[in-house]
């Protein structure tokens, strides 16, 4: 299997997507923030503010900055980013969705958004418990592009 981020000399390089057509592309990623029932119960009284609301903003901002964080990612004109959080008995499930009409996919934008949203929840609740864990960061699905659709 040939990896696309290496040139003929075996050096890391950014893929040239100049000849590819622009198509509609979407991606959805997942992360889970495992925390105790005590931390979950304390969310409404968090002195730093609402961790879930701040995590949504952080995730959107992170998606927009993905190419600044991941060296070989292209800068993309995102048409949509959405962060969903679900409070469950064991913690908070985070879903990040990203969309664009571009020459390359938005999987990394969705993954970065999910991870930064999860990290923000951790940051805003760590004073209550240092044992909070971020788990299960993965791509759920993607659509568009040469490789077609993917669903986990």
- Give per-residue pLDDT as tens, 39-90: 999 999 988 899 999 999 999 999 999 999 999 899 999 999 999 999 999 9
The pLDDT value recorded for residue 47 is 82
Per-residue confidence band for 14, with pLDDT thresholds at 50, 70 and 90? low
Does residue 110 sit within a domain? yes
Q: How far apart are CA 22 and CA 118, in angstroms?
A: 31
Per-residue confidence band for 20, with pLDDT thresholds at 50, 70 and 90? confident
Does residue 59 sit within a domain? yes
Does residue 38 sit within a domain? yes
Q: How far apart are CA 59 and CA 13, in angstroms?
A: 27
Does residue 115 sit within a domain? yes
Mean pLDDT for all residues in the chain:
91
What CATH number has the domain bearing residue 31? 3.30.70.640
* Measured CA angle at 112 (ends 8, 66), to 5 deg: 60
Q: Are 85 and 118 in contact (CB under 8 A)?
A: no
Tokens 């040239």 correspond to 16
Q: How far apart are CA 106 and CA 99, in angstroms?
A: 7
Does residue 139 sit within a domain? yes
Does residue 100 sit within a domain? yes
Choose, from 50, 68, 101, 123, the residue flagged as catalytic.
123
Is 123 noted as a catalytic residue in this protein? yes
Using DSSP's 3-state secondary structure scheme, residue 110 falls into helix
Q: Give the CA radius of gyration of the chain.
A: 17
The residue segments making up the domain with residue 58 are 23-147
Give the pTM.
0.90
Does residue 16 sit within a domain? no
Count of domains for the chain: 1
The pLDDT value recorded for residue 55 is 98
């Amino acid at each position: 299997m040939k990896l696309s981020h290496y040139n003929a000399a075996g050096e890391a390089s950014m893929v040239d997507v100049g000849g590819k057509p622009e198509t509609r592309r979407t991606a959805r990623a997942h992360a889970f923030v495992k925390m105790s029932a005590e931390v979950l119960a304390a969310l409404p009284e968090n002195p730093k503010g609402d961790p879930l609301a701040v995590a949504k903003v952080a995730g959107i901002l992170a998606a927009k900055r993905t190419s600044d964080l991941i060296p070989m990612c292209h800068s993309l004109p995102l048409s949509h980013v959405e962060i969903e959080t679900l409070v469950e008995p064991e913690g908070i499930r985070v879903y990040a969705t990203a969309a664009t009409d571009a020459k390359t996919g938005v999987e990394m934008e969705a993954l970065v958004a999910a991870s930064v949203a999860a990290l923000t929840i951790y940051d805003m609740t760590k004073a209550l418990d240092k044992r909070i864990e971020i788990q299960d960061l993965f791509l759920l699905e993607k659509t568009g592009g040469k490789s077609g659709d993917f669903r986990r």
